[in-house]
Amino acid sequence: MLLSLFGLMFWALVVAVPVWIFAGLFPALLSALCVVVFAHMRNLWQLQRMARWLSGTDLLADGRWRGIWAEIVQRIQRLLVQREKQVAVARHRLQRFLEAIQASPDGVTLLDDQGRIEWCNDMAAKHLGLDAQRDLLQHVVHLVRDPVFSKYFAQDAHDSEVLIEGRSNSLSQHVKLSVHLYAFGEGQQLLMTRDITSVSLADAMRRDFVANVSHEIRTPLTVLSGFVETLQTIPLAEEERQSYLHLMSVQAERMQSLVADLLTLSQLEGSLPPGKHEKTPVPELMAQVFSDASALSAVLSGHEGEERGPVHELVFEPAPAWIFLGVRSELLSAISNLVSNAVRYTPAGGRIHVKWSRNTDWVTFSVTDTGPGIAPEHLPRLSERFYRVDRSRSRETGGTGLGLAIAKHVAQRHGGELRIESQVGVGSTFMLVFPASRMEYMDGETSSVSL
């Protein structure tokens, strides 16, 4: 600036001094004035050029600027480059921030001070049935048409969340959403949505489970306390007393089995999947299962006092010389449940066929009976806790309703599964399928043990 002022004075002097010498003071002053006017006109022209340049789009292009104008343009260009870098960094950060919110398992919707949608992530769009592009600037209450939500939105304070039905409901599943509004900025709001379908399902299952357990325990308890009262108040003949005591012990045993099964289930659910260090010889295990099955079949004959024997044809194929690599008590429990079910549900005279088989990938334990069979609609629910097809037969024979749930858990914990095939009027086959790696061959040549 100072330089250009000196430049102007220099040129005014260069022109005015010779004129002063040759033509006198007045023409000299006039010529100096002409120089100043010329310089001023030139600056006005440059200013106009600059105004045009500033309103253009390509501010970083090289124009032909001189002197102080070149300096001004350079400074503006430097500032522009700096600002562009800052904008790029801010844009990158915003992008990463939005990506992070997109990745959130919860729905996030930003609302302006009027309650209109400014932005929402994909999860919020899915939860609330929104279109992230089309529904921008629409009022959220017009789109989320749920009376509970409308009432909640209209409140002044939103200290807690509310539960509403999700939009991704299908016939088979009702989606439950937890919705919470948080205030931020100047009147804006953050709408958080969370899918709590599985949590509420788990809650409902827990409530059902507690109700079922209470019901299962209450029945024998009521019977027991009735007998106790009778024994206390009515003088009975010895024979009657013995019969009452027998019935009482049956009910007590029922409660014991229920508690034992509940404990087994909770242990199965609460412990880590079993390793392969525990080794159980299959023949020894099957010998125990066979003797238990024979005893149960004899007991179920109901021929009091007579010499009892199994009333079913129990066909146990020779147990293979294998060693199970898993928890012995769990395998015994699973197999015993399947075999005892076959005995309990198959009428006297029926046939129960037990065998092990193997292919390269899997080993299978199967029990086939000639019992009543199970209708297809029951099969998917059969391993649910307390699910029974034949309630009275289950109770009569001391069933707890937990046997198949235990068998399924045991199979899954060992990397396998429980399979059921059944035909009404023909019979059923229950299978425990384990990965072949869970079974190793015994040393030596003993290939099988007959039962």
* Contact between 411 and 418 (Cβ < 8 Å): yes
Does 342 contact ligand ADP by CB under 6 A? yes
Q: How far apart are CA 145 and CA 377, in angstroms?
A: 37
* Contact between 401 and 407 (Cβ < 8 Å): no
Q: Which of 135, 195, 330, 369 binds ligand ADP (CB under 6 A)?
A: 369
Does 337 contact ligand ADP by CB under 6 A? yes
Q: Which of 403, 408, 432, 439 binds ligand ADP (CB under 6 A)?
A: 403
Does 13 contact ligand ADP by CB under 6 A? no
Q: Which of residues 179-218 bind ligand ADP (CB under 6 A)?
A: none
Can you tell me which residue has the tokens 């489970």?
209
DSSP string, 412-446: HHTT-EEEEEEETTTEEEEEEEEEGGGEEEPSSS-
| Shortest distance, position 402 Cβ to ligand ADP, whole Å | 6
Burial of 407 (0-12, 13-18, 19+ CB in 10 A): buried
Span of 22-30, 232-240, 337-345, 353-361 interacting with ligand ADP by CB under 6 A: 337-345
Crossing angle between the packed helical segments 328-345 and 403-413, to the nearest 10 degrees: 140
Does 109 contact ligand ADP by CB under 6 A? no
Work out whether the CA dihedral 436, 442, 448, 451 comes out positive or negative.
Answer: negative
| Shortest distance, position 401 Cβ to ligand ADP, whole Å | 4
Q: Which of 131/396 has CB closer to ligand ADP?
A: 396
Burial of 421 (0-12, 13-18, 19+ CB in 10 A): middle
Does 31 contact ligand ADP by CB under 6 A? no
Q: Which of 112, 278, 390, 421 binds ligand ADP (CB under 6 A)?
A: 390
Does 116 contact ligand ADP by CB under 6 A? no
Span of 60-68, 90-98, 176-184, 336-344 interacting with ligand ADP by CB under 6 A: 336-344
Span of 82-90, 280-288, 364-372, 439-447 interacting with ligand ADP by CB under 6 A: 364-372
Q: How far apart are CA 177 and CA 192, in angstroms?
A: 10
Q: How far apart are CA 302 and CA 344, in angstroms?
A: 12
Does 404 contact ligand ADP by CB under 6 A? yes
Does 374 contact ligand ADP by CB under 6 A? yes
| Shortest distance, position 407 Cβ to ligand ADP, whole Å | 8
Tokens of 346: 């198959």
Does 394 contact ligand ADP by CB under 6 A? yes
Does 372 contact ligand ADP by CB under 6 A? yes
Distances (CA, A) of 4 to 39, 43, 68: 10, 11, 7
Neighbouring-strand partners of residue 95: none
- With H, G, I as helix, E, B as strand and everything else as coil, classify residue 399: coil
Span of 24-32, 68-76, 298-306, 402-410 interacting with ligand ADP by CB under 6 A: 402-410
Does 335 contact ligand ADP by CB under 6 A? no
Binding site for ligand ADP (CB under 6 A): 337, 341-342, 345, 369, 371-372, 374, 382, 387-390, 394, 399-405, 428
